[in-house]
Amino acid sequence: MATASLTIDLDAIAANWRALDRMSDTGTQTGAVVKADAYGLGAKRVVRALAEAGARRFFVAVSEEGAAVRQALGPGPQINVLSGHMAGDTEMIHDLDLTPMLNSVDQITRHLESLPGHPFGIQLDTGMNRLGLEAAEWEAVAALVLAEEPELVMSHLACADEPDHPMNAAQLAEFHALTDGIGVPRSLAATGGILLGSEYHFELTRAGVGLYGGRPFADARPVVALALPVIQLREVAPGEVVGYSCGWTAEQPALIATVAAGYADGLTRRYSNAAMLWDGEVPCPIVGRVSMDLITVDVSHLREIPRTLDMIGPMQGVDDLADIAGTIGYEVLTSLGHRYSRRYVSATTRGQV
């Protein structure tokens, strides 16, 4: 089979949720952020594993994602929509019992008029200038909104992955100023905020990337493994070139393995002549350009050529690849393509999708 295999460890996701949950007091609930198809790993399987581990609140970016999560979970768990209540979403929000996190006066009006009595939350902007009501808007509508009993009031930290950044304390102070005494559950921390300490936790945290094994949760259990099948071997003589634009030239006799995956699978061209594939603990450098479906690897030093080489595994994690590509683990995960044969592994259920 020339399909690369992506293994997703559901037990590791559950363990990471429990570990993040243990970092806050018992009075703090740990929510799970599963937007973008659970950071590219497959929301259906991931949310079921998280619900089994004990997660009761899920966050998605848009209502359509919320619908998919509701279908996977059934009634009960709360599903919060971070983009709020957009025009055209009313029926979905109602029928699938989604909780929109309203982020503007327009959205508040739309929600209270179209779905009176339907659960909602409020998003406040404490300095990131991305989503949420600004202080003056909140002051103008707070009394009216609080009378409608929101389920949650939240804000989002801009620099939580840098513990010493002064923005963290500034946003915390602003969040207190806007919300102290309102008598509504509050949430400020995503993964980075959980690690900042208990004063950032309030009643609910929103763990995302840490669940999937990414920085800044350094103690996370790795979740993803990616093995690429070797489909051809080629001996090249000194002076011969490999790949598009003659991206690599052999200086000595070399054995080149061609493996089946490329930038169409989320393996960016930035890995060209930069990242490694791994045969167990032995690194094999990518030589030449990553192309759409194929990557060429120098395996001259291997005594035996394995059937597959690891792109993501114990020797090279998601964040290592992110460093090589000049991006963050979030982007590496959400770029993982749809051609992989995906295996979901857990002690209780072993399956293929």
Ligand X SMILES: *Cc1c(COP(=O)(O)O)cnc(C)c1O
Which amino acids are annotated as binding site for substrate, given as ranges?
Answer: 130, 292
Would you say 207 or 321 has its CB closer to ligand X?
207
- What distance in Å separates the CA atoms of residue 291 and residue 153, rounded to the nearest whole number? 46
Of 42-50, 142-150, 168-176, 190-198, the window that binds ligand X (rule: CB under 6 A) is 190-198
* Strand residues in 12-69 grouped as ranges (E): 29-33, 57-60
Q: Judged by CB, which is closer to ligand X: 10, or 20?
A: 20
CB of 207 to ligand X, least distance (A): 5
Among 14, 19, 33, 47, binds ligand X (CB under 6 A): 33
- Of the candidate residues 6, 34, 55, 82, the single one contacting ligand X (CB under 6 A): 82
User: Is residue 192 part of the contact set for ligand X (CB under 6 A)?
Assistant: yes
Between 33 and 267, whose beta carbon lies closer to ligand X? Answer: 33
With CB under 6 A as the rule, give the number of residues binding ligand X. 12
Q: Are 200 and 194 in contact (CB under 8 A)?
A: yes
Nearer CB in complex with ligand X: 39/248 = 39
Q: Rule CB under 6 A: which of 130-189 touch ligand X?
A: 156
Compute the CA torsion angle 233, 239, 243, 246 (nearest 10 deg): 180
Nearest Cα residue to 156 out of 126, 121, 186, 201: 126
User: Which residues participate in the annotated binding site?
Assistant: 130, 292
Q: Is 311 helix (H, G, I), strand (E, B) or coil?
A: strand
Q: What angle (nearest 5°) sits at the alpha carbon of residue 46, between those of residues 328 and 204?
A: 75
44 is catalytic: no
Residue with the CB atom nearest ligand X in the bound state: 208
Dihedral angle over CA of 231, 233, 239, 244, nearest 10: -10
Tokens of 51: 């619900």
Q: How far is Cα 171 from Cα 125, in angstroms, rounded to an integer?
A: 9
Joined tokens for residue 150: 């929101």
Instruction: Find the binder of ligand X among 103, 191, 268, 272 (CB under 6 A).
Output: 191
For ligand X, the closer of residues 82 and 227 by Cβ is 82
Catalytic pick among 35, 39, 200, 340? 35
Measured from the CB of residue 123, what is the shortest distance to ligand X in angstroms? 8
CB 72 to ligand X: min, Å:
19
Determine the Cα angle at 217 with ends 214 and 219, to 5°. 105
DSSP result, 108-160: HHHHHHHSTT---EEEB-SS--SSSB-HHHHHHHHHHHHHT--SEEE---SST
Indicate whether 34 belongs to the interface with ligand X (CB under 6 A): no
The owner of tokens 């929103």 is 206
Q: Which of 43, 190, 227, 321 binds ligand X (CB under 6 A)?
A: 190
Q: Does residue number 79 form part of the binding site for ligand X (CB under 6 A)?
A: no
Cα-flanking dihedrals φ and ψ of residue 105, to 5°?
A: -65, -40
CB of 177 to ligand X, least distance (A): 20
**Exactly one of 212, 244, 263, 344 is catalytic; which is it?**
244
Binding mask 197-216 for ligand X (x = CB under 6 A): ---------xxxxx------
User: Among all residues, which ones are annotated catalytic?
Assistant: 35, 244
Can you give the binding site for ligand X, defined by CB under 6 A?
A: 33, 35, 82, 156, 190-192, 206-210
